[in-house]
A and B are shown apart, each in its own frame.
Chain A
Amino acid sequence: MSNALYRLINPLVSRLLTSPLHGLLSGNTALLHYRGRRSGRLLQTPVSYYREEDTVHCFAGIGHRWWRNLQEGEPVELLLEGRRFGGHPRVTRGDEADLREALARFLAAVPRDARHAGVHLDQDGAADPEEVSVAAPGLVHVCIRLAEP
């Protein structure tokens, strides 16, 4: 997708997630609110996610900026399916087995992100383990334990 198209669509994504029509996206896209590590500014980022009970899992490319602002012990807020939650993030990176397993589960739950990660899914929606191993070192796993805001 071209930069011009990204610039056009991106603001609509965050607007949609905060609107009554959020259901069009909010099944696998959440709006994450956090504070800038240096600036202290209120920041937000739309993120693909999958949820396991009270834990939300997201992945980011190492080259992206947003995850660098997340600090363990610093609370965040998430708008999930139109509902606001507080949460505590934990960021892990590296070619660890649990990161690869979480990535495989994430891609099975959010198949649209498999292409961005360079991972193919089989007919049952399972991620190719070798491709997951190749993709994992370039990603960070953001795990957010939910709490009421």
Chain B
Amino acid sequence: MREDAQGQGLGQRLLEHAHGRARSAACRTIHLDVYADNPAVALYLRNGFRLVVETDFPGKPGLPSHYRMVKDLEEI
């Protein structure tokens, strides 16, 4: 997300929209992939996503690791 659009709650609204779509489609879980240095990780954690696996890529030292996060919709 562009820096000048951050802090306005757009990510939260997009996430709620995605939740609504997933529930309408009778999905039981939502998965997402995100790099560990993405500020959105905090948003996902606040919204009930949990980290299931962290991938550490060997190509270049210093690159952030990558998170696979999951939220169980049935728990809501």
A residues engaging B (CB < 8 A)?
A: 1, 3, 6-7, 10-11, 13-14, 33, 36, 41-47, 60-61, 63-66
Contact = CB atoms under 8 A, between A and B. Distances in A.
* Most chain A Cβ neighbours within 10 Å, of B51, B58, B65: B58
Given A11-B33, A11-B66, A43 B59 contact: no
Nearest to B51: A41
Contacts of A33: 53
Contacts of A11: 33, 55, 66
Contacts, number: 55
A4 to B, nearest CB: 11
Interface residues of B, number: 16
A14 B60 contact: no
B66 to A, nearest CB: 6
A60 B61 CA distance: 11
Nearest to B34: A11
Given A3-B63, A7-B35, A11-B33, A42 B58 contact: no
